[in-house]
Amino acid sequence: MNIRKIVYEELLMEVEKPGRYIGGEWNSTKKTFEETKCQMVFCFPDVYEVGMSHLGLQILYGLVNDTTSYLMERSFMPWPDMYKKMEERGIPLYSLESFKPLNEFPIVGFTLQYEMSYTNILAMLGLANIPITSEERMEGSHPLVIAGGPCSVNPEPISRFIDLFLIGDGELVLPEILKKVANYLLDGKIINRKELLLELSELQGVYIPAFFKEEYDIDGKYLGTYNIFDKKVRVKKTFVTDLDNAYFPTKLVIPFVDAIHDRMMLEVLRGCTHGCRFCQAGNYYRPVREKSVTRLLDTAAKLVVESGYDDISLTSLSTADYTGVKELVDKLLNKYEKDKISISLPSLRVDTFSVELAKDIQKVRKTGFTFAPEAGTQRMRDIINKGVSEEDLLTSVEGAFKAGWQRLKLYFMIGLPEETDEDVIGIIKLGKKVLDMGRKISGGKNIIVTVSVASFVPKPFTAFQWFGQNTKDELIRKQYLLKESVREFGKGLKLSYHYSDLSVLEGMFARGDRRLGGVLQSLYEKGSMFDSWDEWFKLEMWNEALEENSISKETYSEHFFSETEPMYWDHIDIGVKKKYLWNEYQKSKSLEITRDCRLGCTNCGVCNDEIRMDIKGEYHG
C-alpha cells in the first residue's frame, strides 16, 4: 500500500487542516530506515498543533537524529475526521517522515502529558494495527511500546498497554534503550522479547510492568506493587545533572499548521525550588539545574537563524527564578530588538521583579499578562505554600497597569484542602480589587481581567497526594458560588472554569491502579477519543465503561489515604522522600510555610552526599 499516495490524492481534500498529515517540514530529519541501526516513532497522543508545541518532542527528536546512528520519526493523533477516513479505507497510522505504518517500527513511544489523553493512546495503537495490550504483544514480532513524561510517575492505570516506562529525563536513557533494542533486531523485528526486557530493566529510570505484581490480602486490600525478582527494588528516576552541556536542539522542526505555541523555545532551567504543595512538576523535575547565560545566548543565535520565528520564549517552571534572567533578557533585547524579535516569559512570579522584567520585554511586543495567585485568601495561600501575599499581588498588578497593560489573567484553584466558602468567594473579591485598580490607574480605559479557575486534582508525589478530591457536586456548588459572587462582588470580571466531570476523571487516573486498565480498554472498544476536548468528551460512554468494569470513580478520586497506607506508586522513586511530603501535608493544616530550598535545604531527599546544589543550581560531586 502506498500510504503517501493515498493520503495526498484521496484524503487531504476531505479533511480539516490537511497540513497536519503531510510531513516534510523545515528541519525534519532526512535520515532513512536503511541507513540507521534502530528506528523509533515518537507519538504525541493529541492533535498535531498541540504536539508540535511540546519541547520534549523537539529535544528527543533532535537528540536521536542529530547525535546517534538511530532514527526518530513522528506521529500524532489524527483529528476525528481523518481518523474515520483512515479506518474506513484501511489506512494504518503512519509516521510523518517516511509514511511507514507504526507497526513497522521496532519502538513506538508515547509521551504522557495529561491523563485524559490515555484513550488517544489506545486509539493510535488500534489504528496502527498494533495489539493494544502488552500481554498480546509478548508473542510475535510486535513493536516495543514505551512511554515517558510526567504522568509516568503513576504508570499503573495505563500499565496494561505499555511495555516499558521511562521515569525522569529521557536524554540520557533513551539512546541506551535504542542501543539495546538494536542488538535484538532481525530484519527490523525484535527477537527474544523477554530477554530484551530483562536487559532494559537494568537501566536506571526504566519500569517494566510485567516484572512487577500487585499484591492484596484475602479481603482484597491493596498491599503494594513489588518487583517479582526482588521485593526491595524500586524504580529510581533518571535526570540530567549537567543541563548546561546537555543536548538542546537549534534546528526546531517548523510546523506547517500554526502550533499552540508557535515560537522559539529556550529552556533556561529545569526544576523548581518553591515547594508549592499542590505541584507535581515541582517535585518531579527536582533538583533545579540551570544553563549559563553564555550557552543560552549561543543557542538563541542559532535558533533565530534556523527557525525564522520572531519570538524567543524563555521556558521553565519559573523563569524569574533563573539567576541570570536579567542579564539574559537585557542581552537578548540588545541583540534582537532591532530585528523586531520579541522575548516572552510564560512563567513569572507574582512579584515586582517579574513586572520589571515584563516591562523590559514588552518594548518589542506587548501581550496579555498572567499571574497565578492560585488561591483567593492568604489563609489558603499559606496552606498551599504559595509564598505570595495579597500585597505582593496588588503591587505587581499596579506595576503592570502603570506599564500599560490592559489585559490581565489570574489563575486560581478551587477544591484545595481545608478550603471554605469564604476562600472561594475570596477569589472573586481579589479579582475585583485587581480590576478596580486597573480602571483607576488607566483613567477609564477598557481594562479586562479574567479570573480562570481550575478544580484541584490531587497528584502523586505532592504533599496533597493523601487528600481526597472534592466530589463532583461540591465542585459544581463552588463553581456556582463563584458565579453568584461575580454578580455580587465582581461585576466586570470575566470568569472561566473547567468542566467538573473531567476533573473528577483526571483525579481517578492520577491516583489510580491497574484495575483502571479495564475501563480504558472498554472505552477504546466504544470508540472514545479526544476526551480532553470538551466537544468530543462523552460522559455517558465513560459511565458505561466504569459500570462494565464495576469501577466507581469516586472510590479513587475521593479517597483519603492514611499515613501508613500503601500507595499505588510507592514502587517509583523520584527522589523526594515520602516522609518529607507527609510532613508538608501536616504543615499545611497548621498554615506553616516551608522556605524556598535555594535559601536553605529543606531535606526533601533529592540532594544528597553525591549531588549537592548551591544557590545557583550548580552541582558538585
pLDDT (tens digit, 9 = 90+) per residue, 311-327?
899 999 888 889 999 99
Q: What confidence score (pLDDT) does residue 524 get?
A: 97
Q: Do residues 8 and 122 both lie within one domain?
A: yes
Q: Do residues 354 and 381 both lie within one domain?
A: no
CATH assignment at residue 611: 3.30.750.210
pLDDT exceeds cutoff 60 at 365: no
Q: Do residues 204 and 282 both lie within one domain?
A: no
DSSP alpha helices (H): ranges in 233-389? 280-284, 293-307, 325-336, 352-361, 378-383
* Cell numbers for 174: 533513551
Better pLDDT: 172 or 613 = 172
Which single residue is written with the C-alpha cell 523537539? 58
Residue 535 lies in a domain: no
Q: Do residues 564 and 613 both lie within one domain?
A: no
Task: Give helix then strand counts, H and E, for the chain.
Answer: 21, 23
- Return the percentage of the chain with pLDDT > 70, whole number: 96
Residue 537 lies in a domain: no
Q: Do residues 332 and 474 both lie within one domain?
A: no
- Count of residues for the chain? 621
Q: Which residues span the domain enclosing 12?
A: 3-231
Please enumerate in sequence order all residues whose Cβ is within 8 A of that of 573, keeping only pairs 6 or more positions apart, or say none: 234, 235, 236, 237
Q: What confidence score (pLDDT) does residue 618 get?
A: 45
Please report which confidence band the pLDDT of residue 258 belongs to, taking 50, 70 and 90 as the band edges.
Answer: confident
Rounded to 5 degrees, what are φ and ψ at 551?
-110, 130
Residue 116 lies in a domain: yes
Show which of 231, 249, 278 is a domain's final residue: 231
| C-alpha to C-alpha distances, 264 to 13, 124, 272, 273, nearest whole angstrom | 31, 29, 22, 25
Q: Do residues 395 and 280 both lie within one domain?
A: no
Domain tally for the chain? 3
Answer yes or no: are the C-beta atoms of 275 and 385 closer than 8 Å. Answer: yes
Please report which confidence band the pLDDT of residue 363 belongs to, taking 50, 70 and 90 as the band edges.
Answer: low
Q: Do residues 124 and 52 both lie within one domain?
A: yes
Kindly tell me the sign of the dihedral angle through the C-alpha atoms of 29, 34, 37, 43.
Answer: positive
Q: Do residues 59 and 196 both lie within one domain?
A: yes
Residue 348 lies in a domain: yes
Burial class (CB in 10 A: 0-12, 13-18, 19+), 496: exposed
Q: Do residues 349 and 376 both lie within one domain?
A: no
Kindly tell me the sign of the dihedral angle through the C-alpha atoms of 430, 431, 433, 434.
Answer: positive
Q: Do residues 312 and 383 both lie within one domain?
A: no
Q: What confidence score (pLDDT) does residue 366 get?
A: 58
Q: What angle do CA 529, 531, 533 make, to 5 degrees?
A: 115
d(CA 16, CA 28): 23
Residue 250 lies in a domain: no
Show which of 231, 251, 285 is a domain's final residue: 231
- Spell out where 443-599 has E strands: 448-455, 494-497, 572-573
Q: What confidence score (pLDDT) does residue 345 get?
A: 79
Average pLDDT in the 103-132 region?
A: 97
d(CA 534, CA 596): 37
* Cell numbers for 111: 509521551
Better pLDDT: 52 or 600 = 52
Please report which confidence band the pLDDT of residue 367 belongs to, taking 50, 70 and 90 as the band edges.
Answer: low
pLDDT exceeds cutoff 90 at 235: yes
- Of 498, 47, 497, residue with least CA distance to 259: 47
Lowest mean pLDDT of 4-8, 67-71, 123-127, 343-347, name the range.
343-347
Answer yes or no: are the C-beta atoms of 286 and 575 closer than 8 Å. Answer: yes
CATH assignment at residue 461: 3.30.750.200
pLDDT digits (tens, 9 = 90+) for 129-159: 999 999 999 988 999 999 999 999 999 999 9
d(CA 14, CA 522): 30
Kindly tell me the sign of the dihedral angle through the C-alpha atoms of 522, 525, 531, 536.
Answer: negative
CATH assignment at residue 189: 3.40.50.2300
Q: Are strands 311-315 and 235-236 parallel, antiparallel or unpaired?
A: unpaired
Residue 333 lies in a domain: yes
Q: Do residues 310 and 455 both lie within one domain?
A: no
Residue 542 lies in a domain: no
Please report which confidence band the pLDDT of residue 401 belongs to, taking 50, 70 and 90 as the band edges.
Answer: confident
- Return the percentage of the chain with pLDDT > 90, whole number: 78
pLDDT digits (tens, 9 = 90+) for 552-571: 999 999 999 999 999 999 99
Which single residue is written with the C-alpha cell 470513580? 553
Q: What confidence score (pLDDT) does residue 368 get?
A: 64
The three-class DSSP label of residue 132 is: coil
Residue 106 half-sphere exposure toward CB, CA atoms < 13 A: 26
Burial readout 258-290 (b: 16 or more C-beta within 10 A, e: otherwise)? ebebbbbbbbbbbbbbbbbbbbbebbbbbbbbb
Residue 419 lies in a domain: yes
Q: Do residues 282 and 182 both lie within one domain?
A: no
pLDDT exceeds cutoff 60 at 617: no
Quickly count: other Cβ atoms within 10 Å of residue 422's Cβ: 12
Average pLDDT in the 487-493 region?
A: 88
Q: What is the C-alpha R_g of the chain?
A: 24
Q: Read off the amino acid at residue 581.
A: L
* pTM confidence score: 0.94
pLDDT digits (tens, 9 = 90+) for 417-472: 999 999 999 999 999 999 999 999 988 778 899 999 999 999 999 999 999 999 99
